[in-house]
Amino acid sequence: MKILLGPAGIPLAAKGEGIIGGIRKVKELGLKAMEVEFTHGVQMKNELAKNIGEVSRETGVKLSVHAPYFVNLASVEPEKIKASKQRILQSCERAHYMHASPVVFHPGYYGKYTPQETYEIIKDNILDIIDKIKEKGWSVKIAPETTGKKSQFGSLDELVMMLKEMGTKHSILCVDFAHLWARNGGKVDYEEVMKKIRSLKMDYIHSHFSQIEYTDKGERRHLTFDDTMENPPVEEVAKRILEAKTDIKIISESPVLEVDSLKMKKIFEKLGYNF
């Protein structure tokens, strides 16, 4: 199995150096992955995306993309669904030129719909996005992410069921280990989590990891390893990942980004993994 570690965004050590400088810093630090964050919108030009793709290939740093947070594929307002699809597709276009995959996104909210109604609406809209990706010939997969708030669609069971229906040729799962912890009030069997993920028979797992603060409604904010190592339990999750023997990319969403990626690297090394 192969484990790739890296930050969600430009490393703190490369502040002010842009995405290309960030990729080079990731390589320098001995990490092998980075997620490009389109948090508030997609402003990147395709020409820059192509340059980023060249640097990614040169350095061997594997890129993924996080689509803007303003996405709700189950909105009651059709124009909001249209805008959400556009944001995901814009992210996919840039990802194609950056040789980045997958494009991660938060699927949406239950709102006034039942969980089953929300499931069907979001599934149909994801299938429409996949059709448009195929029409454009973009070489990228999309990845709905397990979400951390109970008001959000995106429990592990919902997404596993959806991907079993749709298949994983064009869409894979992004499992956020911290979101699972927050959504379930700190009660998660990560051995069972890995079994469910492996049931999808994906080529590799794309994941997010950090410590997290939560309330009875779910996720509140991300924390660092210095804050706690138990929400979720870092070493236990690392052991379950190693037991699964599946290639995995682990993106640090810690406020200190690459700092916790490097700490996670040491934990895997302590458990016997050789990077």
- Give the chain's end-to-end CA distance (angstroms, integer): 10
Q: Which residues pair with 213 in a beta bridge?
A: 221
Cα–Cα distance between 31 and 221 in angstroms, integer? 25
Handedness of CA 77, 79, 80, 86 (dihedral sign): positive
> In the chain, pLDDT over 70 holds for what percent of residues?
100
**Tokens at residue 92, please?**
């996919």
Label residue 78 exposed, middle or buried (CB < 10 Å: 0-12, 13-18, 19+).
exposed
User: How many whole angstroms separate alpha carbon 7 and alpha carbon 4?
Assistant: 10
Q: Which two tokens stand for residue 183?
A: 């959504």
The pLDDT confidence band at residue 256, using thresholds 50, 70 and 90, is: very high
Closest CA to 6 of 25, 40, 36, 34: 34
Question: Is the separation of the CB atoms in 106 and 71 below 8 Å?
Answer: yes
H helix or E strand, kind and range, residue 225: none
Tokens of 110: 């239950």
CATH of 3-270, picked from 3.30.70.141, 3.40.50.800, 3.20.20.150, 3.40.50.720, is 3.20.20.150
C-alpha–C-alpha distance, residues 179 and 193, integer Å: 12
The whole model's pTM is what?
0.96
Q: How many CA atoms lie within 13 A of 160 on its CB side?
A: 15
- Residues 97-153: tens digit of each pLDDT: 999 999 999 999 999 999 999 999 999 999 999 999 999 999 999 999 999 999 999
% of the chain surpassing 90 pLDDT? 99
Amino acid 145: pLDDT:
98
Confidence class for position 85, pLDDT limits 50, 70, 90: very high
